Amino acid sequence: MAAGESKLKILIVTADYYEDLGELLEKGARERFLEAGVAEERILLRRVPGCWELPLEVRRLVRRHAPDAVAALGVLIRGETDHYDHIARECCAGLMRVGLEEDIHVALGVLTCGNRAQAEDRCGVRSPERNKGREAANAILRILPADSG
């Protein structure tokens, strides 16, 4: 391991229902971990079809790969029905439950937006520093020392 390189093993799980936005969140998180010295081979990237699938897949992957932390990323955009409310509530509660049950930090990078423009803004389309994937990575980096693992 090179000097200054982190021992952290990170799992990034991205819901890609809005594939372009999910990719932006994932890119923001991945780049932030690389900047912090996490080795490319210690960053596990996985995709799921949507936010509903995040909690179960995060739990499965945590049990299989034993990462030090997870960045759970995705985008929900309010529609004409209350479907959005159910998905947002259960996704967030499920991710919290996984973190508590598995004793692992699960950074919540699931955006709940009123429209596509809000989602694009929070994914860093116009300003990369507003990327919420990057913020999820920052939360993990603040919780875990860089030399853990």
Which one of 65, 83, 86, 105 is the catalytic residue? Answer: 83
Active site residue 65: no
Q: In terms of Cα–Cα distance, which of 116, 102, 111 is closest to 50?
A: 111
- Tokens 């299989």, residue located: 64
Q: CB-based contacts of 64: which residues, under 8 Å, 6+ apart? A: none
The two structure tokens encoding residue 110: 């699931």
Residues 17, 54: Cα–Cα separation, whole Å? 11
Q: Angle at which helices 83-102 and 54-65 pack, to 10 degrees?
A: 20
3-state secondary structure of 126: coil
Residues 11, 32: Cα–Cα separation, whole Å? 13
**Active-site residue numbers?**
83
